Structure 1
Amino acid sequence: MKKDMDLIIKVLKYIEENNTATNSIVVEIEGYDTEEQREMVQYQVKLLKDAGYIEAKGGYNPYEFIVRSMTWEGHDFLDAARNEVVFNEAKEIAKKKGMDFLSLPFELTKTLLVEIAKRTLLG
């Protein structure tokens, strides 16, 4: 399976919108209804867990993760990625360099998004 940055951002938004201090959730993204699509969503959850962006544990099914919370790093990443102007500029910069933005490592993606956001805000 591949990392899918657009889906990762959807997963983080889902967690932000549906998780509370007292509940744990299984991420279910609208439009990802087949078994293969649900596995793809859960794979992105696993990647986020491995990157330290969320706290989660394995569920009862082989490809199911129960999310307890988003970490500070996860919130920072989502905050940087949710700004469409910043996100699109990051994609354009990667494209100009001959790279696929959606395939960049998490840390590089986050650093690029944060730097563009800083430049946009602070000039």
Structure 2
Amino acid sequence: MDLCRKILFKIEEQYIDTALSNLELENYDNLQIAYHCKILNEAGLIDYYNAQYADNSLYFFSVGSLTWEGHDFLDKIREDTTWNNVKKIIKDKALPFTLEVAKTIATDLLAVSMKAALNL
């Protein structure tokens, strides 16, 4: 999930109006990044993913922009403190580290922060 978060940040930072090709992130190889881009696309967080293979190896991949849901999720986990709290809750409660669980916890943490900020 940390790699997924990093990919979302990278797309947000670099995407202008055309697909991004062969995203690179320090400490991750192209296969790891491409696979996680694929699952982000399947989860509806990015709007496009395409990969091309040659000789049974990844040759090239590209991704599109973040979707509305992708922006929404990234905004909820943007702050390192929030993201670390999400991961801690998942670990402490022995929950599965899935996108849906992370989104639910991040949403709940945001709701608590908003209530505190509004003195409700």
TM-score interval, smaller chain:
0.7 to 0.9
Larger radius of gyration: 2
1:11-50 to 2 correspondences below 5 Å: 11-20=7-16, 22-26=17-21, 27-32=23-28, 37-50=29-42
> 1:58 deviation in Å?
1.5
> C-alpha separation between the residues in 2 aligned to 1:14 and 1:108?
22
1:120 matches 2:113? yes
- What residue is the counterpart of 2:51 in the other structure? 59
Match of 1:109 among 88, 91, 102: 102
> C-alpha separation between the residues in 2 aligned to 1:88 and 1:23?
32
Gaps of 5+ in 1: none
Q: For the Cα contact (< 8 Å) 1:46–1:65, is it kept in 2?
A: no
> C-alpha separation between the residues in 1 aligned to 2:107 and 2:11?
21
TM-score by length of 2: 0.82
> 1:24 deviation in Å?
1.1
- What residue is the counterpart of 1:82 in the other structure? 78
Structure 1 pair 120–59 and aligned structure 2 pair: CA distance change class (3 A):
same
TM-score by length of 1: 0.80
Q: For the Cα contact (< 8 Å) 1:56–1:65, is it kept in 2?
A: no
Higher helix share: 1
1:95 matches 2:91? yes
Aligned residues: 111
Q: CA RMSD in A?
A: 1.7
> 1:48 deviation in Å?
0.2
Match of 1:68 among 61, 64, 67: 64
Gaps of 5+ in 2: none
AA paired with 1:24?
A: A
Runs of 4+ in 1 over 2 A off after TM superposition: 59-65
Question: Percent identity, aligned pairs only?
Answer: 34
